[in-house]
Amino acid sequence: MALASLTHLQPLFKRLQVRDQITSDEMTALAATAGAIVDVPANTDMAPEGSRPGFSTLVVEGFAIRYNLLGDGRRQITAIHVPGDFIDLPSFLLKSMDHSVAALSDCRVMTYSHQSLLDITARWPHLSRMLWLLTLMEAAIHRQWLVTMGRFSALQRMAHLVCELYVRLETVGKAHNGRFNLPMTHVGLADTLGLSPVHVNRILGELRSMRLIRWDTPEVEILDWAGLRRVAEFDDSYLNLRNEPR
The DSSP-derived string for 83-111 is TT-EETHHHHHH-S-SSEEEESS-EEEEE
119 to 158: interface string for DNA, x by CB under 7 A: ----------------------------------xxx---
CB of 40 or CB of 104, closer to DNA = 104
Q: Which does 68 bind (CB under 5 to 8 A by kind): its own copies, DNA, none?
A: its own copies
Task: By CB under 7 A, tell whether 198 contacts DNA.
Answer: yes
Task: By CB under 7 A, tell whether 108 contacts DNA.
Answer: no
The kind and range of the H/E element at 120 are: helix 114-123
Q: Is 70 exposed, middle or buried (0-12, 13-18, 19+ CB in 10 A)?
A: exposed
d(CA 5, CA 1): 6
Q: Which does 243 bind (CB under 5 to 8 A by kind): its own copies, DNA, none?
A: none
Question: Other CB atoms closer than 10 Å to residue 69's CB: what's the count?
Answer: 13
CB of 113 or CB of 181, closer to its own copies = 113
Enter the DSSP assignment of 233: T
Task: By CB under 7 A, tell whether 21 contacts DNA.
Answer: no
Give the footprint of DNA on this chain (CB under 7 A).
153-155, 185-187, 190, 194-199, 201-202, 204-205, 217
